């Protein structure tokens, strides 16, 4: 399975926690468990110790795609995720947290000194569904554009943070895939997902 870095994830904002498909799926207690897991996964790697990756509940054992984004002093420090639901959400959060901290090639690996200053934001993805371009809603949908072996993904909060309109959002997702901006009009596949986004700032 491949971990995918997201290079357009912006800083967390108050609006991020409301992005998704309506009612929140994850209770405050579940959010707290997942955020604690992300931090503990990174810290345990730095301290060379093992942690349990057994999901504590059936809900968190469900296969889901998710992205973990790390910030340090308000600046992006790493963002990596699984698009497809290949393993349990609990393990996905643990693995993507470590990958964001140590494997996002745009940044140097997180250090033990930085760990206490880190802020984590999680984006839990719904299943991908084909969508018509005119059905894309800013602030609700994340997008995946694919054509052959090229594939690009942008999370729902990205166009909100960059103040993009619908067409710009689709074009930028094409750009993320390494495709021409008008690839969505020339046969590229357009799929959408929703994301429940929450982070350390919202749970304090």
pLDDT on residue 22 = 44
Residue range 75-95: mean pLDDT, rounded: 94
| pTM (two decimals) | 0.75
Residue 99 has pLDDT above 60, yes or no: yes
- For the chain, give the mean pLDDT: 88
Q: Which residue has the higher pLDDT, 99 or 19?
A: 99
- Assign 117 to helix, strand or coil: helix
Residue given tokens 């596949």 in the structure block: 189
For the chain, percent of residues with pLDDT exceeding 70: 88
Output the DSSP codes for 18-79.
G-SSSS-SS-HHHHHHHHHHHHHHHHHHHTT-------SSTGGGSB--EEEEEEETTEEEEE
Residue 23 has pLDDT above 90, yes or no: no
């Amino acid at each position: 399975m491949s971990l995918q870095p997201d290079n357009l994830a912006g800083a967390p904002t108050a609006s991020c926690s409301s992005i998704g498909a309506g009612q929140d799926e994850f209770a405050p207690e579940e959010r707290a468990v997942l955020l604690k897991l992300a931090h503990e996964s990174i810290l345990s790697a730095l301290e060379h110790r093992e942690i349990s990756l057994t999901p504590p509940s059936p809900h968190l054992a469900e296969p889901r795609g998710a992205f973990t984004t790390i910030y340090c002093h308000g600046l992006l420090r790493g963002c990596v995720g699984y698009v497809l639901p290949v393993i349990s959400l609990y393990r996905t959060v643990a693995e993507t947290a470590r990958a964001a901290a140590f494997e996002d090639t745009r940044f140097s690996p997180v250090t033990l000194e930085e760990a206490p200053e880190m802020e984590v934001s999680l984006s839990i993805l719904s299943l991908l569904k084909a969508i018509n371009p005119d059905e894309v809603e800013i602030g609700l949908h994340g997008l995946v554009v694919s054509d052959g072996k090229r594939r690009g993904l942008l999370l729902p909060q990205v166009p909100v943070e960059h103040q993009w309109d619908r067409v710009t959002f689709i074009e930028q997702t094409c750009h993320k895939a390494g495709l021409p901006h008008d690839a969505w009009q020339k046969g590229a596949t357009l799929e959408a997902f929703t994301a429940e986004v929450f982070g350390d700032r919202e749970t304090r």
